[in-house]
A and B are shown apart, each in its own frame.
Chain A
Amino acid sequence: MSTLHLDAEALYRDLAGGVRGLLQPGAALVGIWSGGAWLAERLQRDLGLAGEPGVITSALHRDDFDKRGMAADAGQTRLPFEVEGRHIVLIDDVLYTGRTTRAVINELFDFGRPASVTLAVLVDRGGRELPIQPAYSAARVTLPPERRLALARNAAGHFSFAIREEGAAP
């Protein structure tokens, strides 16, 4: 079995460069809870953007509510700016089936009509089930379906990747 090593910090530096190129005047960063939100927080600072990034959760628009119910720990959407007419850059840690992105876009539209929505992700692991594409991804990998990939952040704010078997204890 081969082991995959992803250097999250190095990929973050790539992502920052890519996002810089996507920013239009007045654009806002919105991080998808939870990994995307961490990334957006750091990007906001490192890219010298004013104010706070938005945080958005897919919890209220998920398509698997019937199977999974209300998540105990789903975060809350907080968008400290007007969505109407704004260019939004969505940030996420891992893009996989695209369903979370779809749900997040629906959530975003509950707040108003953005001028545009672009997606930038740290890792695109393929396996799309919806027609969703990132404008920028720092890495592309292929993982078997039973492997879960998620961003982790330690107390010092340092990013790393955790790869787990589906269903295994964290």
Chain B
Amino acid sequence: MMLPRRNPQLNAHGELVHLLSIEGLPRAVIHQILDTAGTFLSVNDREVKKVPLLRGKSVFNLFFENSTRTRTTFEIAAKRLSADVINLDIARSSTAKGESLLDTIANLSAMHADMFVVRHGESGAPYLIAQHCAPHVHVVNAGDGRHAHPTQGLLDMYTIRHFKQDFTRLTVAIVGDIVHSRVARSDIHALTTLGVPEVRAVGPKTLVPGDLREMGVRVCHDMAEGIRGADVIIMLRLQNERMSGALLPSAGEFFKNYGLTPDKLALAKPDAIVMHPGPINRGVEIDSAVADGRQSVILPQVTFGIAVRMAVMSTIAGNTA
């Protein structure tokens, strides 16, 4: 009895006009964004690090949830595309709830915004914004609740492609607080779409529920089993709130069982790469020796992040709703 609805990220021609989630993106679109990111990576090495693709356009960073790191990378990316960038830190107070969101969007649309980069604490918020903003405005999801962080997913894929080339022969392990992680969800969607044959979700039952299987991953509650033979290990940040919600007893016990130490890393393939979306909690999910070690690609991830965001913004800005 359901009414079919078109994926709100795509226009009537199947072109990407918003980036809200990696779910539902065809493999070809993902590869195209990664290829474009490669071009922009070389731009970052030039003397003139700017291209005029978004010149005259206004990109508004709407961060309902604070994040200086992510906001800064989006700002750099937009400026390298010659866009004007306006940062809006909207404190999420309960009194400002409903008004903040849609009234804000209406006000900003009146200020001739061309693109909103949105980070929000609730899953689904960017869909609401995309539904209610003016037709010519593009929305990039910079992270919504626990649901998605598509640019992180894409830069993680760029990183994997850079170091491993062929997705179809990899075993990828994602470790940590997956149930609360939008990065994990985006990574899982991207990895499965790109044809990675084995994606493992590793962590305790309170953080890695069985129904994750339906997203196409193998659930492992034993760290050794989860890491063994992996080509790529993505470590996730553990947040302090988990201890107060009776999901975990302590950071120490978590590190003992699921922290990535050199010993555990030795179970993976010798040329396995270690990734982390950042910021890292040393001694909680990852040992310093590993984070700073030769297998860690955490810093390249950051560099790739700017190029990938430039690719995303230029791709969607070039398509009309």
Contact = CB atoms under 8 A, between A and B. Distances in A.
Say whether A and B bind each other.
Answer: yes
Contacts of A65: 53, 314, 317-318
Contacts of A60: 39, 43, 51-53
B121 interface: no
Highest count of chain A CB atoms <10 Å: which of B42, B51, B319: B51
B51 A77 contact: no
Given A61-B51, A110-B46, A110-B47, A66 B318 contact: yes
Nearest to B52: A61
Interface in A71-130: 72, 74, 76-77, 106, 109-112
Contacts of A77: 39, 42
B318 A111 contact: no
A163 B52 CA distance: 32
B147 to A, nearest CB: 26
A68 B318 CA distance: 7
Nearest to A62: B53
B48 interface: yes
A82 B225 CA distance: 51
A66 B136 CA distance: 11
Contacts of A59: 39
A76 B315 contact: no
A68 B42 CA distance: 23
Given A65-B53, A69-B15, A76 B318 contact: no
Nearest to A59: B39
Given A59-B39, A61-B52, A65-B53, A70 B46 contact: no
Interface string B61-97: 0000000000000000000000000000000000000
Contact of B318 (A70, A106, A109): A70
A30 B318 CA distance: 27
A112 B47 contact: yes
B55 to A, nearest CB: 9
A5 to B, nearest CB: 37
Contacts of B317: 65, 69
Contacts of A70: 36, 53, 314-315, 318
Contacts of B36: 70
A79 to B, nearest CB: 10
A60 B315 CA distance: 12
Given A60-B53, A70-B314, A111 B39 contact: no
Contacts of B50: 110
Interface in B176-220: none
Contacts of B51: 60-61, 110
B254 to A, nearest CB: 43
B15 A76 contact: no
Contacts of B52: 60-61, 106
B309 to A, nearest CB: 14
Given A69-B319, A72-B32, A110 B53 contact: no
B229 interface: no
A66 B55 CA distance: 11
B31 to A, nearest CB: 10
A69 B38 contact: no
A61 B36 CA distance: 14
Highest count of chain B CB atoms <10 Å: which of A72, A77, A109: A72
B44 to A, nearest CB: 11
Nearest to A64: B318
Given A60-B43, A69-B317, A72-B32, 7 more contacts: A60-B39, A60-B52, A69-B319, A74-B39, A76-B38, A76-B39, A110-B46
22 contacts: A60-B43, A60-B51, A60-B52, A66-B318, A68-B318, A69-B315, A69-B317, A69-B319, A70-B36, A70-B53, A70-B315, A70-B318, A72-B32, A74-B39, A76-B42, A77-B39, A106-B52, A110-B47, A111-B46, A111-B47, A111-B48, A112-B47
The 9 closest A-B pairs by CB, nearest first: A69-B318, A110-B48, A60-B51, A70-B318, A70-B315, A69-B319, A76-B39, A110-B46, A70-B314
